[in-house]
Amino acid sequence: LGGISNGMPLDFSVVMKPTSSIHIEQTTVNIEKMEESTLMVTGRHDPCIAIRAVPVIQCSTAIVLLDLMIQSQKVDRVLKN
């Protein structure tokens, strides 16, 4: 998508696929026994990452917009080599 902004706030929608439990045997470390062991997740233990995703998407958007402004020479580079 492309377009021209007139300075108004940018509004857009984001869709996220929920994370899923990994149902394969994984190697881990048993901290109490200090030895290698295996872990197999059974059942559904899916975390909700939507709350943590909001600031990540906001920061990612800010980085992309700043990068585009630098490319179009609207702002000087922050770091000079």
What does the domain layout of the chain look like in residue ranges? 26-71
Q: Is 52 helix (H, G, I), strand (E, B) or coil?
A: helix
| Entry pTM | 0.53
pLDDT greater than 90 at residue 68: no
Q: Which residue is associated with the tokens 């872990």?
A: 39
The separation between CA 47 and the C-alpha centre of its own chain, rounded to angstroms, equals 14
Summarised one tens digit per residue, pLDDT across range 11-21 is 888 888 777 77
Please state which of the ranges 12-16, 31-35, 52-56, 62-66 shows the lowest mean pLDDT: 12-16
